Structure 1
Amino acid sequence: MKRKIPKKPGPRIEIASRNMMIDQKPEIWVRGFVPHNHVVITTETIDETGVHWRGKTPYVMNTQGCLEIAAAESEGEEVEETDPWEIFDAMRPADTPDGPVPLFAWRTAEPIHIEIHVNAQNGDSAQSSLHLCLFDEATTIREDVREGPLQGTLFCPKGDGPHPVVICLGGSDGWFTEARPALLASHGIAAFSVAYFGGDPLPETLSEVPLEFFDRAVDWLNAYPAVDTSRLGIYGYSKGGELALLLASRDPRIRAVAAYSPSSVVWQDPNGGAPKSSWSEGGIPLPFLPMYVSGMKILKIMTGRPVAFRECYAQGMERHPEQTEKARIPVENIAGPVFLVSGTEDGVWPSSEMADTIETTLKDAGKDVTHLKYPGAGHLTTLPGLPAPEVMDTLIFGGSSQNSSRALEDAWQKMVTFFQATL
């Protein structure tokens, strides 16, 4: 009887784990293709609003017909290595792949399902899939907090505590999000995402928002036995970055601050009409700096055309130097180290220049500060491991999606390390 010779496996995709935290690089191997053949790797997913995203990335197989998309070393196999985030960053809306990259909508802690296809010139193909996870239910507890004006979600590591805790603040929509705090908690740091306006019973708009919401959040955490508020940090992006620095400058309980695309001053509310301060304390509006919105900008807003507000903020500073000083956030009063992230091509406001000012002030005061300034990146607010936006509706974020994506991926890893080292 003749011995059966097993068939050589054909074209295939091998993935070390199909459930990966989104801030970790997956290990993906493409094998069994014709050596030196040209292939295209297609990644596809659907965001929370139903937008279909697709990315196409070309590669050439090596002499063994293999390709490694992984950060791990191969065992005795000659392969061409590439960054696994590249195939995710390449995704664009399938209906408008050549337009400015919009916001990838994902606010919850649900996993993102990615389909992966490989197609070669000779017709060979393979497919697989994986989940990019934000919440690790094996290691993390999720706690909904809905207590009157205190609205948010706590993600807390399981196991022995108490754990350090970071209060997380979103951008100019003011409501809490879950994706970033859930991801932060997977690294052993409790994260409390808190709303500061945007829905009942909180203020409807970003106008004279009371800073007292922060005290309610800390009081709630003080009664939660698994966290240690003596190791309290704060993290915010965009308008939340302004707020994080402002709160830290007024409250010595905050031991470490991370601010993405931040501001060095208190700005007016972004609503129309007579300018008001964004923030208040004890019922008194804080000193603020008004924007300067030109007639051309107003026309663009009224006609629904894309708008970059960077000039409006820059000219507000230039036209009102005396108010700039009154509205300045006294960052030199912050008790702990500060971690700043900015993109040089930010189209929303001049965050790199304002972060430079913050950095100089802190260094002059002998304080510990890190400023990651990324050339060619725009308004940096979104998750690592996904395509970064160039626009959000009609708001121009600036920079290129690729530069911003790589910046966010690099900054996130360093921010996690920052909080682990300082809290």
Structure 2
Amino acid sequence: MDEPVHPLISGLSPGQEVTITSRAVDRQHVAWRGRATFRANAHGRVVLDTAHPASGTYQSPDGMGLFWSMAPASGDPDVASFVPPTSREHTYRVTLTATADGHQLASRTVTREWFGSGVTSKKLTVAADKVAGTLYLPAPGTPRHPAVLVFGGSEGGNSTTATAALLASHGYPALSLAYFNLPGLPHSLEKIPLEYFASAARLLAARPEVDSRHILAMSYSRGSEAALLLANDYPALIHGAVVYAPSARVNSGFPDYGAFAWTKGGKPVAEKPIPLTHVSGPVLAIAGANDLLWKSPQWARQIVQELDAVSDQYPHKALIYPDAGHGVGTFPYLPSGTRLKQPVTRRVSDLGGTRAGNAAARETGWSRVLALLGALGS
């Protein structure tokens, strides 16, 4: 699902106008469509990686434009998101169709796979495993790789299964962790013990497929606070962090702003800047320059500045993407809106950025994450 395709059309007349459409159906049985019109070059070809659309659902050359720019058949695409499959048995198909002069010229269907070959998954429960989530492991026989503890933000539940499955498909064992709003867990983001995350990381480290010297925490938005706290407070266990739309400080609970979000040793973690003096691995902070939910671009830069100030020896970088908002991550190519139907806070429903800006950020940012993981242990 996170790998690009490179569509092209040949056999056209030079300068001939051709329209290419895309169509897919998501898990909720919503039909999505994209469209772009081109002029064939002097060789009678349209190469979507480099061709400028004359009109359509995206505006700049992009071989994957017909994938991420799809919109639902009805309604506002800025408040809708394509809902991908949830299990290895499910895939989704994108059909590309070329028409010219009122006639269909060609059609090709691309199957977007959820799991790489041989990847396995195992559901974890609080009753049986002391943590809730899903463990994804690469195909048997894959050499030991760095691993990733992945968890989401204020949405709660087990919201990062797609990211974890794709990481495992690239060879990196990953545990998609829920920490509230599931059976056996707190109902809301309130008084979440950091020890709970550490237990999940130890479970991951004990797997024979995992290079336990390189376990990263990866999270989004409110979860970025826990990821950075883990990297600082458990440096022998968590060796760095990847944080999307991050915060550089501990914030209050959610939706109860009078509660503490995190605890350690049974005591509340104070609402203050997150210390980063003990981090023992790389840190990548990824933000959209137009994040309207909170000041993640400023916080991403602050995270790197704090690591610079303590002369942190590991790679650390802030990636700030123009035209992207709070929807800056994680993996690319799924259509996604920029606004919420219901406000995520008392006042904010616009997450900022544009669909094209977020799509570009996800494509580039995801490649940087995979490159970081590939460099570990090499």
TM-score grouping bracket, smaller chain normalisation: 0.7 to 0.9
Which of these residues, 358, 366, 373, is aligned with residue 412 of structure 1? 366
Residue 220 of structure 1 is matched in structure 2 by 203
Aligned counterparts of 2:122 and 2:109: Cα–Cα separation in 1 = 30
AA matched with 2:306: T
Which of these residues, 105, 124, 129, is aligned with residue 83 of structure 2? 105
Show the 5 A alignment for 1:93-242: 93-96=72-75, 100-106=78-84, 108-109=86-87, 110-138=90-118, 140-148=119-127, 149-158=130-139, 159-176=141-158, 177-242=160-225
Tell me the SS of whatever aligns to 1:396: coil
Which of these residues, 238, 245, 253, is aligned with residue 261 of structure 1? 245
Contact 1:189/1:420 (CA < 8 Å) preserved in 2? no
Q: CA deviation at 1:203?
A: 0.6
Contact 1:52/1:93 (CA < 8 Å) preserved in 2? yes
Tell me the SS of whatever aligns to 2:277: helix
Residue 25 of structure 2 is matched in structure 1 by 46
Alignment TM-score, normalising by the size of structure 1: 0.78
Residue 355 of structure 2 is matched in structure 1 by 401
Which of these residues, 11, 28, 33, is aligned with residue 7 of structure 2? 28
- Structure 2, unaligned runs of 5 or more: 51-59, 343-348
Tell me the SS of whatever aligns to 1:228: strand
Aligned counterparts of 2:191 and 2:375: Cα–Cα separation in 1 = 34
> What do residues 176-205 of structure 1 show as CA deviations (whole Å, max 9, x unaligned)?
231111111122211111111111101111
Aligned counterparts of 2:231 and 2:206: Cα–Cα separation in 1 = 21
What RMSD, in angstroms, separates the aligned Cα atoms of the two structures? Answer: 2.1
Q: CA deviation at 1:399?
A: 0.7
Contact 2:15/2:39 (CA < 8 Å) preserved in 1? yes
Tell me: CA distance 1:173–1:107, structure 2 relative to 1, closer, same or farther (3 Å).
farther
Residue 334 of structure 1 is matched in structure 2 by 279
Contact 2:93/2:109 (CA < 8 Å) preserved in 1? yes
Residue 369 of structure 1 is matched in structure 2 by 316
Q: CA deviation at 1:69?
A: 3.1
Contact 1:218/1:229 (CA < 8 Å) preserved in 2? no
Could you tell me the percent identity over the aligned residues?
Answer: 31
Aligned counterparts of 1:332 and 1:373: Cα–Cα separation in 2 = 23
Tell me the SS of whatever aligns to 1:406: helix
Aligned counterparts of 2:221 and 2:62: Cα–Cα separation in 1 = 28
- Give the count of matched residue pairs: 352
Tell me the SS of whatever aligns to 2:125: strand
Tell me: CA distance 1:91–1:131, structure 2 relative to 1, closer, same or farther (3 Å).
same
Contact 1:165/1:227 (CA < 8 Å) preserved in 2? yes
Aligned counterparts of 2:85 and 2:274: Cα–Cα separation in 1 = 29
Alignment TM-score, normalising by the size of structure 2: 0.87
AA matched with 2:358: S
Contact 2:324/2:358 (CA < 8 Å) preserved in 1? yes
